[in-house]
Amino acid sequence: MEVRSRFAPSPTGYMHIGNLRTALYEYLVAKSAGGKFILRIEDTDQERYVAGAVDIIYKTMKMVGLKHDEGPDVGGPYGPYVQSERRAIYKEYADKLVDLGGAHYCFCSEEEIEKQRKACEEAGIPFKFRDPCKKLSVAEARERIAAGEKYTVRQTIDPHGTVSFDDCVYGHVTVETKTLDEGILLKSDGLPTYNFANVVDDHLMKISHVLRGNEYLSSTPKYNLMYQAFGWEIPTYVHLPPIMKDEHNKLSKRNGDASFQDLVAKGYLPEAIVNYIILLGWSAKNDEEIFSMAELEKIFNIEGINKSPAIFDGEKLKWMNGVYVRALPPEKFHELALPYYKDAVKRKVDLEVLSKCVQPRVNVLNEIPEAVDFIDELPEYDIDMYVHKKMKTTPEIALKALEEAKNVVEAMTDADFASMDAVHAVLLAVPEKLGMKNGQFLWPVRTALTGKQCTPVGAVEAVYLFGKDESLKRIEKGIEKLKAAQA
RNA sequence: GACCCUAUCGUCUAAUUGGUUAGGACAGCACCCUCUCAAGGUGUCAACACGGGUUCGAGUCCCGUUAGGGUCGCCA
């Protein structure tokens, strides 16, 4: 039988990380088996609906390379793929389920239910809704409905017995039916709840593998009761452990945790984000960690999914993003870096050369502005910086280095600035001539040019980028500072 | 509270399904390389939650304890 999985998000805003991982796994389960991946929009809660959220879903899926075979925008044989457009279908199946004894009509108001709940609370006993409408005959109930009375459809569960099911990740789970709630299937606005819509849609859309968060583990028996009542085949379940922010809290949008969009805005690459979150709850069972989507489509398997929660580690994401950044073709990196230079670098320098210096040195793109902030203006710096133990520099050596650098740079011709190699040749000749260590000369020069303890450029790159005039200005400033300190 | 689920380095995880000096990655530390910082290389620190069983042998199976997560909405 063909493997068919579905991603069924609610359009409630940005795509959070947990959702994205679920989508990824769903996609990979289907693709690794040569199956189909379906997108379905679950918009049955009109109160939570956020305009534009569906577009965010499309955009995100495109960015991470998840292509759905069926969905609202691409169509398919089992549409419509938006739940709010399937009203009539849910009503039909709800009535059918009532006929089959798996559900009943309920005319209780929310106030009445609340009253029962309060009474239980006061009595100190656990609340379980006892629905007076269960006593109504179907015919009687339908008369009231025909008369225009508001109603809901509730699941009917026989409290005697147990239900069990097999989950690919969690194994065999058994629950006593008396612990199950007879939840609402069809709301008084005529739209289904998740509990019902999922069962109906997954069946009608021929979904073979249901992947979802493990918060559904304990309600899965209720769904199976419905499948059974309808006489439908139960899908293969794959429940997923949560992604945590820390030991106690789930990663969630409500806590203000980063969404996929937030990470992209910070300069994380979609490929890196995907690679990282795939690993939160799944492993290839070998030592490999870097995977392209194409590779994942080949090697992903359900057996590699874990059952315990995983804490989202921003540090490792950063590292992994760095791996992807470094692997970028230089032109591509330059293109991505350009927006970050826009406000940070006003001076006219060769940005392509700058990119070559920066690329191996950043993990996340938003580190760029700070890394290059010495270019427009020389920061105020302390002359202690000229003393570097490892480079074996002293204020005296630094001064000598700078004075020599001044002479050399002054004498440099256009030809000397023609390439990085040329600059390199000129500057490296100096310490040799003076009998200094390279560092003793180059460290002071870089310090004078950048005013920073560490920079993505060395002395050679700095001189090349700044050109003759600016280099001289900064060297002279350094000489001044050192002289002032000596006096 | 009832029910369900989970438990390997600080973090993500592996362990041919009962036989390991418990492996890898991030982070940390040290060294090498080096004109700074990165990157890269080498090395190092670091874990089977606890207690009982079963077994010649348990990280792996069973029971309990503890700790954590989830469900108990006309949300999904």
Distances in Å between the Cα of A383 and the Cα atoms of A190, A399, A431, A484 are: 75, 11, 21, 10
Is A255's pLDDT higher than 90?
no
Give the Cα separation of A336 and A264 in Å (integer): 12
* Per-residue pLDDT at A422: 93
Query: What tokens appear for A441 in the block?
Result: 């000369």
- Asked whether residue A214's C-beta has any atom of DNA/RNA strand B within 7 A, the reply is yes
Type and span of the H or E element at A474: helix A459-486
Instruction: Provide the CA A413 to C1' B12 distance, Å, integer.
Output: 54
A 246-265 residues, CB < 7 A, strand B: 247-250
In the numeric block, which tokens belong to residue A92? 């039909």
How many Å from the CA of A312 to C1' of B27? 13
Strand B lies under 7 A from the Cβ of residue A301: no
Residue A174 CB closer than 7 angstroms to strand B?
Answer: yes
Q: Is the CB of A177 under 7 A from strand B?
A: no
Judged against a pLDDT cut of 80, whether residue A123 lies above it is answered with: no
Split at pLDDT 50, 70, 90, the class of A238 is very high
Give the model's pLDDT for residue A313: 95
Whether A390 is catalytic is no
Amino acid letter, residue A382? D
Q: CA nearest A204: which of A336, A83, A363?
A: A83
Average pLDDT, chain A: 93
Q: CA distances (Å), A398 to each of A100, A387, A450, A456, A471, in order?
A: 91, 8, 15, 21, 16
Banded model confidence at residue A303, pLDDT cuts 50, 70, 90: very high
**Of the candidate ranges A44-53, A153-162, A238-247, A331-340, the one whose mean pLDDT is the lowest:** A44-53
Q: Is residue A45 over pLDDT 90?
A: no
A485 pLDDT above the threshold of 90: no
Q: Return the closest-CA partner of residue A209 out of A234, A242, A173.
A: A234
Average the pLDDT over A325-334 and give the result: 97
Q: Considering the entire predicted model, what is its pTM? A: 0.94
User: What's the average model confidence in pLDDT over A440-466?
Assistant: 95
User: Tens of pLDDT along A52-100?
Assistant: 999 999 999 999 999 999 999 999 999 899 999 999 999 999 999 999 9
Decide if A240 contacts A281 (C-beta within 8 A): yes
Assess whether pLDDT exceeds 90 at residue A487.
no
- Mind giving me the DSSP string for A147-215? TT---EEEE---SSSEEEEEETTTEEEEEEGGGS---EEE-TTSPBPHHHHHHHHHHHTT--EEEEEGG
Q: Give the position of tokens 């990740």.
A: A169
For residue A188, say whether its CB is under 7 Å from any atom of strand B: yes
- Give the CA-to-C1' distance from A220 to B4 in angstroms: 10
pLDDT of residue A257: 85
* pLDDT single digits (tens) A391-437: 889 999 999 999 999 999 999 999 999 999 999 999 999 998 988 88
Which nucleotide is closest to A197, CA to C1'?
A: B76
Give yes or no for residue A389 having a pLDDT over 90. Answer: no
> Could you tell me the distance in Å between the CA of residue A172 and the C1' of nucleotide B5?
11
DSSP for A219-278, written as a single string:
THHHHHHHHHHHTPPPPEEEEEPPEESSSS-B--TTTTPPBHHHHHHHT--HHHHHHHHH
DSSP code of A15?
P
| A111-133 average pLDDT score | 82
What domains sit in chain A, N to C, each tagged with a CATH number?
A: 1-71+241-327 (3.40.50.620), 86-205 (3.90.800.10), 329-368 (no CATH), 378-486 (1.10.10.350)
A171 touches strand B (CB under 7 A): yes
Residue A13 has pLDDT above 90, yes or no: no
Summarize pLDDT for A261-296 with one digit per residue, the tens.
Answer: 999 999 999 999 999 999 999 999 888 999 999 999
In angstroms, the CA of A277 and the C1' of B26 are apart by: 14
In terms of pLDDT, which residue wins out, A47 or A462?
A: A462
The spacing between the Cα labelled CA in A316 and the C1' in B45, in angstroms, equals 19
Distance separating alpha carbons of residues A170 and A241, to the nearest angstrom: 10
Strand B contact with A115 (CB < 7 A): no
Q: Give A279 CA → B24 C1' in Å.
A: 13
At A25 the pLDDT is 98
* A283: nt with nearest C1' to CA: B13
- Annotated catalytic residue: which of A91, A206, A253, A356? A253
Judged against a pLDDT cut of 90, whether residue A450 lies above it is answered with yes
- Residue–nucleotide distance: A256 CA to B40 C1' (Å): 37
For residue A124, is pLDDT > 80?
A: no
Cα atoms found within 13 Å of the Cα of residue A450, Cβ hemisphere only: 26
Cβ of A431 < 7 Å from strand B?
no
**pLDDT for A41:** 96
Residue A19 identity (one-letter amino acid): N
Using CA atoms of A116, A117, A123, A124 in order, give the dihedral in degrees to the nearest 10: 160
Nearest nucleotide, CA A219 to C1': B71
- The tens digit of pLDDT for each residue in A357-383 reads 999 999 999 999 999 999 999 999 998
| Strand B contacts in A 34-93 (CB under 7 A) | 42, 44-45, 47-48
The pLDDT value given to residue A120 = 78
Distance between CA A224 and CA A433 in Å, rounded? Answer: 84
The neighbouring-strand residues paired with A4 are A36
Q: Which nucleotides of B are covered by protein (CB under 7 A)?
A: 1-8, 10-15, 23-27, 34-40, 68-76
Residue nearest to nucleotide B13 (CA to C1'): A283
A346 touches strand B (CB under 7 A): no
Can you give the pLDDT at residue A26?
A: 97
